[in-house]
Amino acid sequence: MSADTVLDAVAAQLGEAQRILFITGAGISADSGLPTYRGIGGLYHERLTADGLSIEEALSGEMMAQRPEVCWRYIAEIEANCRGAQPNAAHRLIAELEREKQAVWVLTQNVDGLHRAAGSQKLIEIHGTVHHLRCTECPHERNVPDFGGLHIPPACPVCGGLLRPDVVLFGELLPQRGIDRLEQVLAAGLDLVVSIGTTSVFPYIAGPVWWAQQQGIPSVEINPGDTEVSRLVSHRIRLGAADALTRLWQRIHPGTPPAG
């Protein structure tokens, strides 16, 4: 099947579907200039941190508890590489589809906040967001636009305890509220599942694609490379996220540019 034929088929499914789940990973933010960290060309692709640790060790809950200055150093490095990034066409077009359809949900692993900035509201940020800090000792929490001006590691202004980003570090449990919301979305039923820019190595990210296959629901993968769910989906689009979503939008809405 040619690339254009696949795009035509997926555009037809997107146009028809009213209840869609988009699953997104770091690849969707690559066109916003953000590194994919562990993917090809990523910030920590096949190399250790300056402390001789893997990024999974450096960004772990254990490291935050035992050596918060080390964990914070790499959180701050990632945030600095993300600072100033804006939503790209893929983020914006998903948000636009949400305005058109009955129910368009986004399950994202990303902590960059770009889906929210693009206007998506039915959003499950399963790994949290780097822009929200919370104290590990008291109820204090606050939003920050970036880490500029923060002393690393930052202290709570209320109790002096350690502040940390409200994100899921390696080895930590996922937020139950996010898991419950995803289960509710699946239980309510979907017409289409679309995986974009994620290697789908985590079971809770690959799970909805497995579920779609078992339920006989069409699924699509948008990713230049092979992933854990490539063999499961109905259609594969081997393109970057912004390019693929733009081509699909043009097929669904010929001659009509998206708002914003």
> Is 51 or 95 the better-scoring residue by pLDDT?
95
Among 48-52, 163-167, 177-181, 241-245, where is mean pLDDT lowest?
Answer: 48-52
Residue 257 to residue 37: CA distance in whole angstroms: 32
DSSP string, 1-28: --HHHHHHHHHHHHHH-SEEEEEE-GGG
Q: Is-catalytic flag, 127?
A: yes
**Cα separation of 135 and 139, whole Å?**
6
Amino acid symbol at 196: I
Identical fold, 3-34+87-127+172-252 and 38-84+137-167: no
3-34+87-127+172-252 fold: Rossmann fold (3.40.50)
Query: pLDDT category, 44, cuts 50, 70, 90?
Result: very low
What integer pLDDT is reported at residue 55 of this predicted model? 80
Boundaries of every domain in the chain = 3-34+87-127+172-252, 38-84+137-167
- When pLDDT is averaged across residues 33-59 and rounded to a whole number, the result is 65
SS3 of residue 72 by DSSP: helix
pLDDT digits (tens, 9 = 90+) for 136-162: 999 999 999 899 889 999 999 999 999
Number of H helices, E strands in the chain: 9, 9
Q: Select from 139, 141, 104 the least CA-distant residue to 124.
A: 104
pLDDT band at 74 (very low <50, low <70, confident <90, very high): confident
Q: What tokens were used for 178?
A: 């996010």
Catalytic position from the list 91, 115, 127, 131: 127
Query: Could you tell me if residue 225 is left (phi over 0), alpha (psi between -120 and 50 degrees) or otherwise beta?
Result: beta
- What is the fold, at CATH topology level, of the domain defined by 38-84+137-167? SIR2/SIRT2 'Small Domain' (3.30.1600)
Q: Mutual orientation of helices 241-252 and 3-16 as an angle, nearest 10°?
A: 60
Asked if 141 contacts 182 with a C-beta cutoff of 8 angstroms, the reply is: no
Phi, psi of 100 (to 5 degrees): -90, -30
Asked if residue 72 has pLDDT above 90, the reply is yes
For residue range 76-112, what is the model confidence (pLDDT) as tens digits?
A: 988 887 788 899 999 999 999 999 999 999 999 998 8
Q: Calculate what percentage of the chain has a pLDDT beyond 70.
A: 93
- Give the integer Cα–Cα distance in Å for 30 and 26: 7
CA atoms of 235 and 6, how far apart (whole Å): 7
Residue 58 has pLDDT above 60, yes or no: yes
pLDDT score at 78: 80
